[in-house]
Structure 1
Amino acid sequence: MKRISFDLPTCLSLATVLGLLLAAAGTWWPPAGHPSLKCAGIALVFLAGGVPTAWSALSSLYRQRVLDIDLLMVTAAVAAAAVGAALEGAVLLTLFSISTTLEHRALGRARRAIEALMALRPETALRKAPDGSVVDIPAPELAVGDVVILRPGARVPADGVIAHGRGGVDEANITGESMPVSKEPGEQVFEATINLDGVLEVVVSHTVADSTIARMIRLVTEAQEARAPSERFSAWFGQRYTVAVIIGAALAFLAFYLLGRDWEQALYRAATLLVAASPCAIVISAPAAILSALSAAARGGVLFKGGGAIETLAAVRIFAFDKTGTLTTGRAAVNQVVARDGDEDGFLSLLAGLEAHSEHHIAAAILRETKARGLKNVAVMDVNAHPSAGITGRDSIGQLWAGNTRMASAMGAAIDDPALTQLAEGAQTVVYLGRGPTVLGAVTVADEARGTSAPALRALRDSGVRRIVMLTGDRRPVALRIGAGLGVAPEDIHAGMLPQDKVETIAQLTRDGAVAFVGDGVNDAAALARADVGVAMGAAGSDVALQAADVALLSENMQKLAEAHRLARRTVAIIRQNFIFAIGAMLVLVTGSLFFNLPLPLAVIGHEGGTVLVVLNGLRLLSDRIRTPDPR
């Protein structure tokens, strides 16, 4: 059972409720009333509900030159007391105090939702000493390079890389994925994920203070502090409108007085107008929804860099995707080896020696093939990468290069061997290896589309996305093969692109509307920055990816992108609902106070009730299905 925390706002709200009950008892019980009890109750309400609010409002006005909306409520309550309606003023302060406390607690729930991940962190870790002994130490004492032992069922105490052992790891806490991920030596594991089976030895790569969860919490906290356009508008509107309400109430007082009402009635009507026209619900409309969306998305493995990213993503109708590692698995396999001298093993050893210095997915495929054949890599030095072309280096004999036809042309090499020409005509990626102008041979590498890519693209189209574009540095036959399986139109497939070509293409697409670019956050940093919304795929544990994009998908599940787009659109829809409701309710209350003698208590109930309803409507996003792992 949850324990209720009694902070100062809650205690003050309870005090106002107690004071109102005393005032009501002093008014109607016993039948003749009890004036001293009534006065004591009203005094308690004004002290607990009015003084702190007035002090806070006046402090904001003095220090920040900000006219707080709370000042309207206190002014209205004092005005009611001045005309002999102190009980109505007490009702106003009590309901205002209760609604404010509920509002803060509700928004606090949204802010605390991501911090609940902190509770998942293990408090201790089994650190392996150099002599082989194992010591149980507090997790925060772990340092980079320490080796920790993970037993089955244990939570990972810090981000690290598996040194020994194999097993399944439940990463739902980080990525939102329900299916365990098989881990092998050399692969990353993240703090607070669960080792399901096997005994793993993990080398710590990040301390607890700089772990994936710590970065997630920092990013979400920064996002919550960064205001979206709708939030900035509501704050701007609230400040100016509050001044207008005060001036309008003063003019209303004069108008009622000049129309024949006595000063008490005129002041009472002006106080009612102050409450009815207060823009509390309008100001809170956007923050309530955006804070909830940010928290729900983070728990589902999607990090937005602020409310602005949510609102922009909701407006996107054109998505551009990098192919490799985004729409495809990025785990390619070598299908064919052609060595012009007939020595495939020697050719692969030389190629692997060069590709061992690359982090590209094709290089990883070549290294896996070399390892599977039991071959050793040739030592290669002075290696340089050439984006979208290939890699160069030097062995004991001389200069080497590996890459695509662009790299071959740059080296003055002609691909005229019939066996190599035939490879180029296929729909697989071809990597050539050469020494100067001589081509030594080639390998073909194939990459496959992710299982979640096609459903995700269908979901995006169903949600109103007009156009889906694929950008790749690969050859067009390869791009067409992948695109055909995903339903991407041939005219929307752009192949053989350099990084600057992707930036130019996105710039052209933005002429037709807001564009989101989805990439790996490392090789496509420029394209991510140029798009209206940059989305980094598989960003868990990657500092570069988390910083490069406006939206970071921590897992490699493409369906999370479709869910993030749906959540963004739902958030904007709820913000719109809140604005319409808040403005409509305010117009009804203002009309009633000006023309239909609306009683002050009803204006209070309408105003505070509307504010609470707006907050609760925004909080619906906390339970959005994006935070529920998909059973697959």
Structure 2
Amino acid sequence: MPSTLLRRPERTVPATATPVPRRRTRVFALTEARWAAAATLAFLTALPLHLTGAPAWAWGPLYAVAYAAGGWEPAWAGLQALRERTLDVDLLMIVAALGAVAIGQVMDGALLIVIFATSGALEALATARTADSVRGLLDLAPDTATLLLDDGEERTVPSADLVAGDTVLVRPGERIGADGRVLDGAGEVDQATITGEPLPVVKEAGDEVFAGTVNGTGALRVKVERDACDFVVARIVAMVEEASETKAPTQLFIEKVEQRYSIGIVLATLAVFAVPLAFGSGLTGSLLRAMTFMIVASPCAVVLATMPPLLSAIANAGRHGVLVKSAVVMERLGRVDAVALDKTGTLTEGTPRVTDVRPLTGSGLDADELLATAAAAEHPSEHPLARAVVRAARERELDIPLSDGFASAPGIGVSATVDGHAVAVGAPARLLHGAGDPVSAEAAAVAEELESAGRTAVLVRRDGLPAGVLGIADRLRPGAAATVAALTDLAGTAPMLLTGDNPRAAARLAAEVGIADVRAGLLPEDKAGAVRERGAVGRKVLMIGDGVNDAPALAAAHTGIAMGRAGSDLALETADAVIVRDELAAVPQLVTLSRRARGLVVQNLVIASVFISGLVIWDLAGHLPLPLGVLGHEGSTVIVGLNGLRMLRESAWWGDRRGRG
């Protein structure tokens, strides 16, 4: 949904929020997919009948259905291009298919039609699904907000009607309806959709909040600072739409030269027909020579030189838990020479876990007792840190005591009575009141040590005295450091880390995996800007992310990859490929697979070029019999097709680790 739908009609839409018209709608994409499916079904039904020697009346109508169902759209596109005085490969394919029919090669022409129809339908569906996901992003922002009037009265109004200067009330559990700044109140806001931070952030007077984020605890009074069309969530929509529509056209090799090749074949065919005719050759002989030339020069082998290796590589990747959305994407993956990584949910699991349990001197508690006490107090809470503490206690199979008198204070922590003791769990800065006693000093030192290591420190206080400190952090994915090293080798340069998290946590994690270029505290537009900055100097950037906040960067990158299990709908649809099983190690494997597939494409193009050149020279310099020309043409097509299927082998994925690909 274009971001203009978030504004009042009389407002001017900023340039950054101007919607880009879409060329394909979901209805059109589904229609195109149905026609392609019909063409494929008709072809697959006719093929065995044809190959087993059934009479022509049995398979002929089925081939006709395949031609009609799969050929009308590229034929129409080719005619439209012709009307604009251009000639593209769509029209050439239709002419080549009809030429194949004219000389009795009905099956070959139908195969060309099916390949082109299926490719176009897949592209249309992918584009339409991305557009739907972008529109769905606006559902993050609530439809209504509680507006506070000057006389203190509350009024429920559409969020789209809020303007800069309005004041809104955000109650616990509500989504924030506008970008603004907290006037008073305190709460813990989950803003992972905007910044990617794994934990809720304490918001107090003077702090900035964003539309679409969730206020977990405490009430907030927020002054609106931006009109609806300028909300960060609206800018994400605009950036994804703009990047998706304006990204440089991505084409396969044959498509890059289709204009010159198509014009050249047509002109050459006319010349082969007209020149001998002008010098007295017979009409039938000249026409037969011209038809032979067009058949042997048609790009059937070139098309099959390109598609089977890439499609086979897509199938191979799918077996290993990676969804690559098109052959174009598979080709592009092998050309990346720079990598950008999100942190939370990409390099890390995206779930906070207890990493340290540090009982204090004189508390009378060991590590297990400290963790069980904290878990008992936190058990009724829904806060992510509380869930991490309870999960850790259960993983250690500890007995968690019952608690009563539970209370939660935004930005401070929780309190409860556990086994007759008053227990408080929360932020050290709020629970340590500057006392100079040795236990408090020890607690402050442990908390500082953990925080300097990138952990979130949680203080446990029992009967008013510090009892221990817990360290909580988001855990790296298995093999993250090895993946970063592999991507560095493949790209020839170290990846950069792009995150909305705080600089200290980002730097700590980057050091663990070997990343030096760290950019922290970024909003979605900053991530996209960093990717474009690399692209502006000629780098082909591979962006890997999982969240809504990564979508603009995924769209702006040369190629985008999303993590499947933790990925947001928008990231999954915007990305060019999806790691379905969240196995980060699959990324360098995928890039390597793409490079092998591209190498096989080059081999096939050489084979096809040799065959086409030889047959064309024979036809022009001598007399190439039509059956021999068809045999040579079809032979080259079969050879490159079978060669391309080598990418289905398991060794193509594993390479040197399990055999050569």
Name the TM-score class by shorter chain. 0.5 to 0.7
Of 97, 106, 117, the residue aligned with 2:107 is 97
Name stretches of at least 5 consecutive residues in structure 1 with no aligned partner.
20-43, 79-88, 112-226, 384-390
Residue in structure 2 matched with residue 612 of structure 1 by the alignment: 638
Structure 2 equivalent of residue 444 of structure 1? 471
Check the 8 A contact 1:586/1:607 in 2, yes or no.
yes
Q: How does 1:407-418 map to 2 (within 5 A)?
A: 418=441
Q: How far apart are 1:363 and its partner, in Å? A: 5.1
Alignment of 1:86-165 (within 5 A): 89=103, 93-94=104-105, 97=107
C-alpha separation between the residues in 2 aligned to 1:556 and 1:606? Answer: 46
Q: 1:274 to 1:433 in 2, by over 3 A?
A: same
Q: How many angstroms apart in 2 are the aligned matches of 1:607 and 1:613?
A: 10
Aligned with 1:322 (options 322, 326, 342) = 342
Contact 1:356–1:367 (8 Å) recurs in 2: no
Q: Which secondary structure state, in structure 1, belongs to the residue aligned with residue 91 of structure 2?
A: coil
Q: Is the 8 A contact 2:49 2:58 kept in 1?
A: no
Corresponding residue to 2:617 among 591, 601, 607:
591
Counterparts of 1:623 and 1:572, CA distance in 2: 15
SS of equivalent residue, structure 2 residue 277:
helix
Q: Which amino acid aligns with 1:97?
A: M
Following superposition, the deviation at residue 252 of structure 1 comes to: 1.9
Q: Counterparts of 2:520 and 2:65 in 1: how far apart (Å)?
A: 65
Tell me how far apart the structure 1 counterparts of residues 58 and 567 of structure 2 sit (CA, whole Å).
52
Cα drift, residue 49 of structure 1: 11
Of 466, 488, 492, the match for 2:517: 492
User: CA offsets per residue over residues 37-83 of structure 1, 9 Å max, x none?
Assistant: xxxxxxx99979998898789967876646363644654775xxxxx
Q: Name the residue aligned to 1:7.
A: 45
**Are residues 446 and 268 of structure 1, via their aligned partners in 2, closer, same or farther at CA, if it must alter by over 3 Å?**
closer
Opposite residue 67 of structure 1, the aligned amino acid is L
Pick the aligned partner of 1:303 from 323, 326, 341: 323
**C-alpha deviations, 1:403-445, integer Å up to 9, x for none?**
799xx8xx9999996432453244250335699xx99885323
Instruction: Give the counterpart letter for 2:107 in structure 1.
Output: S
Question: Quick one: distance in 2 between partners of 1:105 and 1:523?
Answer: 36
Deviations 1:105-133 (A, max 9, x none): 9999xx9xxxxxxxxxxxxxxxxxxxxxx
Distance 1:540 1:427, change over 3 A: closer
Cα deviation code 1:328-351 (max 9, x no counterpart): 455632413578996967983597
Which string of whole-angstrom CA distances, capped at 9 and with x for unpartnered residues, describes residues 445-480 of structure 1? 356544422333333334344222334566767656
- State the alpha-carbon separation in 2 of the partners of residues 413 and 260 from structure 1: 107
Alignment match of 1:554 (pick from 573, 580, 584): 580
8 A Cα contact 1:335 1:446, kept in partner: no
Matches within 5 A, 1:461-610: 461-471=488-498, 482-486=509-513, 488-489=514-515, 491-494=516-519, 502-512=527-537, 513-521=539-547, 524-525=550-551, 527-537=553-563, 539=565, 543=569, 546-547=572-573, 549-610=575-636
Match of 2:19 in 1: none
Counterparts of 1:225-264 in structure 2, within 5 Å, are 229-231=250-252, 234=254, 241-242=261-262, 245-264=265-284
2:354 maps to amino acid: A
Q: Is the 8 A contact 1:302 1:551 kept in 2?
A: yes
CA distance in 1, matches of 2:320, 2:575: 17
Q: Given the superposition, is the C-alpha separation of residues 366 and 463 from structure 1 closer, same or farther in structure 2, using an over 3 Å criterion?
A: same
Q: What is the aligned partner in structure 2 of residue 215 from structure 1?
A: none
Checking the alignment, whether the CA contact within 8 Å between 1:299 and 1:627 is kept in structure 2 is no
Distance 1:500 1:365, change over 3 A: farther
Matches of 1:414 and 1:498, distance apart in 2: 35
The answer as to whether partners of 2:71 and 2:117 remain within 8 angstroms in 1 is: no
Partner residue of 2:486?
Answer: 459
Tell me the C-alpha RMSD between the 2 structures: 5.3
SS for the counterpart of 1:229 is coil
Q: Which residue of 2 aligns with 1:85?
A: none
Q: SS state of the match for residue 301, structure 2?
A: helix
Quote how far apart the aligned CAs of 1:255 are: 0.7
Q: Counterpart in 2 of 1:69?
A: 93
Output aligned runs, 1:210-221, within 5 Å.
Answer: none
Q: Do the aligned residues in 2 keep the contact of 1:53 with 1:70 (CA within 8 Å)?
A: no
Q: In the aligned structure 1, how far is the partner of 2:97 from the partner of 2:328?
A: 31
Match of 1:424 in 2: 448
Equivalent position SS for 1:230: coil
Deviation of the 1:541 alpha carbon: 9.2
Matched, 1:270 2:290: yes
Counterpart Cα distance in 2 of 1:561 and 1:251? 50
Alignment check: 8 A CA contact 2:345 2:566 kept: no
In 2, are the aligned partners of 1:13 and 1:49 still within 8 Å (CA)? Answer: no
Mapped to 1, the partners of 2:448 and 2:285 lie a distance apart of 90
Q: CA deviation at 1:482?
A: 4.7
Matched to 2:483, the amino acid is A
Could you list the runs of 5+ residues in structure 2 that have no partner in the other structure?
1-42, 80-89, 122-247, 418-423
Give, in whole Å, the separation in 2 of the partners of 1:415 and 1:242: 83
Contact 1:460/1:562, CA 8 A, preserved across alignment: yes
Aligned-partner SS, 2:608: helix
Alignment of 1:38-77 (within 5 A): 65=79, 67=91, 69=93, 71-72=95-96, 75=99
Does the CA-based 8 Å contact 1:13-1:97 persist in structure 2?
Answer: no
Distance (whole Å) between structure 1 residues aligned to residue 291 and residue 629 of structure 2: 10
- TM-superposed deviation, 1:317: 1.9
Q: CA deviation at 1:265?
A: 3.2
Q: Partner letter of residue 641 of structure 2?
A: V
CA shift, 1:553, in A, is 1.3
Residues 403 and 549 (structure 1), Cα distance of their counterparts in 2 relative to 1, 3 Å cut: farther
Report the number of matched residues: 451
2:579, 2:586 within 8 Å by CA — same for their partners in 1?
Answer: yes
3-state SS in 2 of match to 1:332: strand
Change (3 A) 1:47 1:412: same
Taking a change above 3 Å as real, the CA distance of residues 241 and 603 of structure 1, as seen in their structure-2 partners, is same
Contact 1:60 1:68 survives alignment (8 Å): no
Change (3 A) 1:598 1:578: same
* SS of match in other structure, 2:456: strand
Letter in 1 for 2:390: L
CA contact (8 A) 1:288 1:618 kept: yes
Q: 1:514 to 1:373 in 2, by over 3 A?
A: farther
Q: Which moved more, 1:343-352 or 1:326-335?
A: 343-352
Structure 2: distance between partners of 1:297 and 1:570 = 12
Tell me if structure 1 keeps the 8 A contact 2:413–2:425. yes
**Aligned-pair CA distance for 1:302:** 0.6
Looking at structure 1, the residues matched to 414 and 290 of structure 2 have their Cα atoms a distance apart, in angstroms, of 86
Residue of 310, 320, 338 corresponding to 1:290: 310
Residue identity in the other structure for 1:254: A
Q: Please state whether the residue corresponding to 1:252 is helix, strand or coil.
A: helix
Q: Do the aligned partners of 2:313 and 2:597 also contact (CA within 8 Å) in 1?
A: yes
| Aligned mates of 2:525, 2:266 — CA distance in 1 | 55
Match of 2:225 in 1: none
